[in-house]
Structure 1
Amino acid sequence: MWDRLFARQAAMLPGRAVKEFMDGLGVLHMTKPGIPDFDELSERLMKLTGWQVVAVPGLVPDRLFFEHLANRRFVAGRFIRTPEQLDYLQEPDVFHDVFGHVPLLAHPVFADYMQAYGEGGLRADSLGAIDRLARLYWYTVEFGLIRQGEELRLYGAGILSSYGESIFARDDPSPNRIGFDLKRLMRTRYRIDDYQQSYFVIDSFDDLLRQTVEMDFAPLYEELQQESDLGTADILPQDIVFNRGTQAYARSRMGACPA
């Protein structure tokens, strides 16, 4: 199953995925057949950015997840989807976790961002603001797009590990593609049951790290408490819009009209 999924993604991601992701596959020797050995993967990662991969049986509690990230440990599921789940499963498996996430941990700036997110998660937990911060992870680490030159490229693991969303997120006219704005993003709900109705586009990994490290999140959480949530398909007048989506896909799905 791993080899089947890998071959499919490796054939279609060049020219779509961010260069740093493709470089990570190579430098971590992840192009070899079979599920990567976690010890070997961690050894290579440690030399590059100080990260390691830790196997877990399934989802871990929020605070434990943040503690792992803050200490440069990425947790990865130790199960893989069945043939019936080839194109979708809700709980992340080893292909999503390792193929989707780990290559970018070889990139120093993104690796620092992931650690900073973990540290921020521990603070958010003490402030009762995990739900807000989770939106940042969702719209960057899982479903983020990046502008490189005149093109949009994929870097979110939820996209990169999905054949269908790798096409949909960048090329389909249905979803919105909106410039990254931290506060706006953290007001925006997201979907866990289907393709996203909006994707947020960062300018660079350096800018993403700078914004999250320099931001004092405590006052931001207080501001967000006074503002209403935004729907998954909303566009605001001040948004930088790369694509105003038709939302045709969402409307075609029963019960998936823009919320």
Structure 2
Amino acid sequence: MNDDWTIPQDWAHFTPQDHGVWDTLFARQAAMLPGRASQAFLDGLDVLHLSKPGIPDFAELSERLMALTGWTVVAVPGLVPDDVFFTHLANRRFPAGNFIRRPDQLDYIQEPDVFHDVFGHVPMLSHPVFADYLQAYGQGGLRSLGFGSLHHLARLYWYTVEFGLIREAEGLRIYGAGIVSSFGESHFALESDSPNRIAYGLERLMQTRYRIDDYQQSYFVVDDYAQLLRSTLDTDFAPLYARLKDLPDLAPADVVATDRVLTLGSQRYALQKTNQ
């Protein structure tokens, strides 16, 4: 492993079973995402040729992505330290896990694998504005390490890059990697009456805890990707971190008076899980 935690992808090490898992997951998600996923995500799948059978070769994928937005995909053994992660993003490199889940883990895996990282994240990196946003996030992440507010910045990534919704002309659409790579949450995020759907607000979002082990209780909705980029570039995060330290955390299901609520959730799913 290199100092930046990258490793050779060694595409040949993937077995026929590994490629079969990718193909099964890809076919399942690709069939149900039209009409649910953001057009930017669907365009990314197409322009990056991700429908080609088997786990993508990162060298070929990076060549296409570099020509579009200047990003590359690098292989890592799994989760990497925060400073390493931010440095990769700040330099337009997306670190992707170099393993894939087993056939009995199609619906859930705790640590992000190559399907989550590549299918979920990489299509959005072909969109110029979103690509700039993720780089700006990485640069901001490096600065955040000196403020003791990493958990606040992690919420921005979680509620946008992983679990974000966007309003498009045809209605609400999903773009977050944690949703588009999950068969169940792709339905839940748009169609369930359980979660709140709240208009995006940077400080509000960074005040809110999130669920790591189940479907989200609230989703934040952006008007467009430029809103994400502007809010990241135009905000002085130092005083924002200072304010957040003095504010109480909000629970994942909370709705506050200043929210612009698009859908007030019943929280039926979370209540059912609690009572089981």
TM range, normalised to the smaller chain?
over 0.9
Name the SS for the 1:41 alignment partner.
helix
Task: Supply the distance in 2 between the matched residues of 1:236 and 1:22 (Cα, whole angstroms).
Answer: 34
- State the 1:85 CA deviation: 1.3
Aligned match for 1:70, one of 84, 87, 90: 90
Contact conserved, 1:147 with 1:201, CA < 8 A, in 2?
Answer: yes
* 1:160 matched residue in structure 2: 180
* 2:16 matched residue in structure 1: none
Give TM-score scaled by structure 1 length: 0.97
* 1:52 matched residue in structure 2: 72
Name the SS for the 1:127 alignment partner.
coil
1:127 matched to 2:151: no
- State the 1:149 CA deviation: 2.1
* 1:223 matched residue in structure 2: 243
Task: Supply the distance in 1 between the matched residues of 2:170 and 2:242 (Cα, whole angstroms).
Answer: 37
Give TM-score scaled by structure 2 length: 0.91
Task: Supply the distance in 2 between the matched residues of 1:142 and 1:52 (Cα, whole angstroms).
Answer: 19
Task: Supply the distance in 1 between the matched residues of 2:274 and 2:53 (Cα, whole angstroms).
Answer: 39
* 2:34 matched residue in structure 1: 14
* 1:92 matched residue in structure 2: 112
Task: Supply the distance in 2 between the matched residues of 1:132 and 1:251 (Cα, whole angstroms).
Answer: 26
1:171 matched to 2:182: no
Distance 1:142 1:255, change over 3 A: farther
Task: Supply the distance in 2 between the matched residues of 1:204 and 1:99 (Cα, whole angstroms).
Answer: 21
1:209 matched to 2:265: no
| Deviation beyond 2 Å, 4+ runs, structure 1 | none
Task: Supply the distance in 2 between the matched residues of 1:187 and 1:238 (Cα, whole angstroms).
Answer: 13
Contact conserved, 1:90 with 1:192, CA < 8 A, in 2?
Answer: no
The count of aligned residue pairs is 256
Contact conserved, 1:183 with 1:220, CA < 8 A, in 2?
Answer: yes
Task: Supply the distance in 2 between the matched residues of 1:24 and 1:15 (Cα, whole angstroms).
Answer: 15
- Identity across the alignment (%): 68
- State the 1:129 CA deviation: 1.3
Deviation string 1:164-186 (CA, Å, 9 cap, x unpaired) is: 00000011000000000111100
Task: Supply the distance in 1 between the matched residues of 2:229 and 2:37 (Cα, whole angstroms).
Answer: 19
Task: Supply the distance in 1 between the matched residues of 2:28 and 2:122 (Cα, whole angstroms).
Answer: 18
* 1:31 matched residue in structure 2: 51
Task: Supply the distance in 1 between the matched residues of 2:213 and 2:126 (Cα, whole angstroms).
Answer: 30
Counterpart AA for 2:189: A
Task: Supply the distance in 1 between the matched residues of 2:58 and 2:236 (Cα, whole angstroms).
Answer: 35
Task: Supply the distance in 2 between the matched residues of 1:22 and 1:148 (Cα, whole angstroms).
Answer: 13
- State the 1:150 CA deviation: 5.1
1:2 matched to 2:22: yes
- State the 1:101 CA deviation: 0.1
Name the SS for the 2:34 alignment partner.
coil
Task: Supply the distance in 1 between the matched residues of 2:217 and 2:192 (Cα, whole angstroms).
Answer: 11
Task: Supply the distance in 2 between the matched residues of 1:46 and 1:104 (Cα, whole angstroms).
Answer: 13
Task: Supply the distance in 1 between the matched residues of 2:227 and 2:45 (Cα, whole angstroms).
Answer: 23
Q: Give RMSD over aligned pairs.
A: 1.0
Task: Supply the distance in 1 between the matched residues of 2:30 and 2:182 (Cα, whole angstroms).
Answer: 11
- State the 1:136 CA deviation: 0.1
